[in-house]
Amino acid sequence: MEATLLPNPKDTNATILLMGLRRGGKSSICKVVFHNMQPLDTLYLESTSKPTTELFSSLIDLSVMELPGQLNYFEPNYDSERLFSSIGALVYVIDSQDEYLNALTNLSMIVEFAYKVNPKINIEVLIHKIDGLSEDYRIDAQRDIMQRTGDELLDLGLEGVQVSFYLTSIFDHSIYEAFSRIVQKLIPELPSLENMLDNLVQHSSIDKVFLFDVNSKIYVATDSSPVDIQTYEVCAEFIDITIDLDDLYIEDSNGSQAKNSNSKVATPKELKSISHLSNGSILYLKQMIRGLALVALIRNDDVRILNDGSSESSIGTQERSLTIIDYNVNLLKKSLMKMWENSKLISRNEQYEASEHPSTADLGSDGI
C-alpha cells in the first residue's frame, strides 16, 4: 500500500499539531482565531476530511496543522514518527458537551506515542465548548478530565509527562488566551521579551502591556504581572477599533499614502492610536515589527483630574508622560528588530548544520 503523505512542518517554523475526535471543534477554532470568522458562522463548517495547515509570521514563523479526527495516524501507511518528532506542541481538543471517555483514551494513546518520539513536546488539552455549561459543571468537568488523564498516563508509565489544561470557547476570549499561552512556550526569546516589557512598565507608568499578533489577537508576550481577562479583552478589542478607524482614511488617486509636503517620496504610515477612557485610563497602541502591535493600559491620576475639570498643568504632565512612553516604545521596537535578526541568523545556522548532517529520518523516507 502506498504511504500517505502528511504535511511536513518546516524546520524554521514552530509547529502546533491540532488533534481530537471528529466534531470536537478543531476547524471552528482555526477559522475563528486565524481567519477572524464570526463564531456563529462556524455552525455551517463541514467536517475536515484532510490535513490542513495555517501559517502566520510574527516574532516567530508559526504553523498550525489540523488533522482530521476520523483518521488513525498509527496505521503503517502514515509516517507518524516523523510527524510527531518535528512539532513543538500537541493541542488536543475535547468536546466538554459530549461524552469524553473515548476522547481521553485516544488522547492517552497519542501522548504515549508522541512523548516517546519527542520528549520535549508540549502537551496541551483544550476542554472546549464550555459556553454551554454552567460554571459549576465547567469546574467539575475540568477536574474529572484532569484526574482521568493523569490516571491513564500513570497506567502507561508516563507519570513525568506535563499536561496543561484550558477551558475554552470560541464565543469569548478564552480560546485566544489559551493559544497565547501555547504559542509563548514555543518562543525561545520569551524570557528576554518579558524582561523588556517589565522594564517598559517600570519606566513608563504603564499598568499592563501586551505584544499582540494583530491578525489573530494572540499575545506573544506580556509583562510579568498577572493577566486579567477583562484587561486582555479591552486591549484586544482596541486593535479592531484602531484598524477599523484606520481603514476609513482613503488613499490618493495613485493608490499611495498621503505625502508629506517636504518629501517627494511617500512613506508608509505607522499605525498608532491613543484613546482616553471614561474611567481615567489611557489605551495606547503602537505598530511594531512583523505584524505585531504593542498595546498598553495606562492609569494616570492626572487624567482622572482632567475629567473632573483639571488645570493646564495636568495636561502638560499627561503629554510628557506619553512622550516618554513613545520614546521607550521606540527603543523596544529597535530591540525587537535586533532580536528577530538574531533569531533569523540562528535559524539559518541550524538549517546549514542540518543540511550538512541530515538525520536518518530525512534519508529515503517515503512518508511525510
Same domain, 175 and 205: no
Q: Report the 3 state secondary structure along 216-232.
A: CCEEEEECCCCCCHHHH
- Is position 3 within any domain? no
Q: What is the mean pLDDT of residues 240-244?
A: 87
pLDDT at residue 368 greater than cutoff 50: no
pLDDT over 90 (residue 124): yes
Q: Is residue 42 in a domain?
A: yes
Grid cell listed for 212: 499582540
Instruction: Looking at the structure, tell me whether residues 201 and 179 fall in a common domain.
Output: no
Where among 162, 184, 206 does a domain terminate? 184
Half-sphere exposure of 344 (CA within 13 A, CB side): 10
Q: Mark whether 137 and 203 lie in a shared domain.
A: no
168 and 24 inside one domain: yes
pLDDT band at residue 235 under the 50/70/90 scheme: very high
Q: Is the same domain home to 111 and 245?
A: no
Neighbours of 65 (CB within 10 A): 23
Do 155 and 222 have their domain in common? Answer: no
Residue 345 belongs to domain with CATH number: 3.30.450.190
Residue-level pLDDT at 356: 53
18, 109: one domain: yes
Residue 52 lies in a domain: yes
Residues 206 and 317 placed together within one structural domain of the fold: yes
Q: Report how many domains make up the chain.
A: 2
Is 364 part of a structural domain of the chain?
Answer: no
The answer on 226 and 281 residing in a single domain is yes
pLDDT digits (tens, 9 = 90+) for 101-120: 999 999 999 999 889 889 99
What pLDDT sits at residue 51? 80
pLDDT in tens, 306-337: 444 444 445 556 677 788 888 999 998 998 88
21 and 170 share one domain: yes
User: Domain limits at 55?
Assistant: 12-184
Give a yes or no: residue 16 inside a domain.
yes
Question: Residue 255: pLDDT above 80?
Answer: no
pTM to 2 decimal places: 0.80
Range from 176-180, 182-186, 296-300 carrying the lowest mean pLDDT? 296-300
Q: Is residue 323 part of a domain?
A: yes
Same domain assignment for residues 135 and 84:
yes
> Is the Cα dihedral 203, 206, 282, 296 positive or negative?
positive
Cell of 13: 517554523
